[in-house]
Structure 1
């Protein structure tokens, strides 16, 4: 046990140990919902290094964990062969460089099957509903009240807040057209829509 602690806190493993503490702390925060695994993706990209397509945090975590294990193992194996401080220091530099290189190569192999689990496409936006027809789900729609159900292009449905300023009557079950979105109020402006005038021959 003492030999393990000495190796973990010695050069070069101490560098990986410190990074590993950060990694473990980060994923604990993700587990409790205090952080997001994609939190740093907008600032760093590893495409040029052959490790793109997965969150940066995953790449860093894999490199850190693999590098820590390799450095620790090499340090334990080579320590009995180091006869002086100078030799031990030189060996530490070699172990550090080798652990980083191997960890990078192994991580490149590991991230390939993980890429299909992460999508770079942006998530659905409320603005995607603008221009679609909807079905009113409340008894009335006015400047301060109203809800409607709208079907997205992918077939999913959502209930959204709608408002109108015109005098046309929109009641439950009637069809409306979402023609604008108010980002401040987080609602859609809706107008009555006659499905008979739809050139496609159908409504929502």
Structure 2
């Protein structure tokens, strides 16, 4: 397999993915793959990019003159395109993947007739924008049937996990960062967690899920000893 990738016949492939406009999607797709690898190892939150997005039936004025912050404007755009109801990291991963595929094949089949130089860059701008738009539309369609699954799973999870003991899976859990894993008889549930006050828990510590914060979809946790009233 690696011999095929390194063969001379693959040179056009490398040229396409490393040149404008495909290179833009190649960069974000690479970052996405690296992110998921790091997330699986527990060094970052899986939902690290998540921010508050209104429900799918809500509305938001994204006029830049209305005083909204950049995250508010971005949330409004995502709502307008139907990119809601699933974790932002999944949405961005799908957009990166489909944008890369669409852009690559457009460049592969059409750019051979465009001479090198400024003309390719000028032609690349609408291809980049068009590929992004198509990727957003495909992603919106794919995640639509997934929304009820995520909502139902979240409601059921909140109902059953409060008061249970979980294990810190990230390097730490403090008031700003962290994830825990709750054994459920299977692969385990990975939940966003935050400590109360200035408490800091290390990887492998046992904590109790004390409260669920709906807006940010995370759990307040305390140490198992504190929950049971045992001396530290």
Instruction: Return the TM-score normalized by structure 1.
Output: 0.58
Q: In the alignment, is residue 94 of structure 1 matched against residue 126 of structure 2?
A: yes
Q: CA deviation at 1:117?
A: 2.9
Instruction: Return the TM-score normalized by structure 2.
Output: 0.52
Partner of 2:228: 187
Q: Of residues 14, 33, 51 in structure 2, which corresponds to 1:24?
A: 33
Point out the structure with the larger helix share.
Answer: 2
* 2:43 aligned counterpart, secondary structure: coil
- Looking at structure 2, the residues matched to 104 and 117 of structure 1 have their Cα atoms a distance apart, in angstroms, of 21
Task: Give the 5 Å matches for 1:1-204.
Answer: 1-42=10-51, 45=75, 46-119=78-151, 121=155, 123=158, 124-126=161-163, 185-187=226-228
* 1:118 aligned counterpart, secondary structure: helix
**Runs of 5+ consecutive residues of structure 2 not aligned to the other structure:** 1-9, 53-70, 164-221
Q: CA deviation at 1:84?
A: 4.6
- Looking at structure 1, the residues matched to 134 and 100 of structure 2 have their Cα atoms a distance apart, in angstroms, of 11
Q: CA deviation at 1:187?
A: 2.9
**Runs of 5+ consecutive residues of structure 1 not aligned to the other structure:** 127-182, 189-204
- Looking at structure 2, the residues matched to 84 and 6 of structure 1 have their Cα atoms a distance apart, in angstroms, of 12
- Looking at structure 1, the residues matched to 45 and 147 of structure 2 have their Cα atoms a distance apart, in angstroms, of 18
- Looking at structure 2, the residues matched to 103 and 51 of structure 1 have their Cα atoms a distance apart, in angstroms, of 11
Compute the RMSD of aligned alpha carbons. 2.5
Partner of 1:137: none
Does structure 1 conserve the Cα–Cα contact (< 8 Å) formed by 2:81 and 2:137? no
Bigger radius of gyration among the two: 1
- Looking at structure 2, the residues matched to 9 and 36 of structure 1 have their Cα atoms a distance apart, in angstroms, of 30
- Looking at structure 1, the residues matched to 138 and 20 of structure 2 have their Cα atoms a distance apart, in angstroms, of 22
Q: CA deviation at 1:49?
A: 2.7
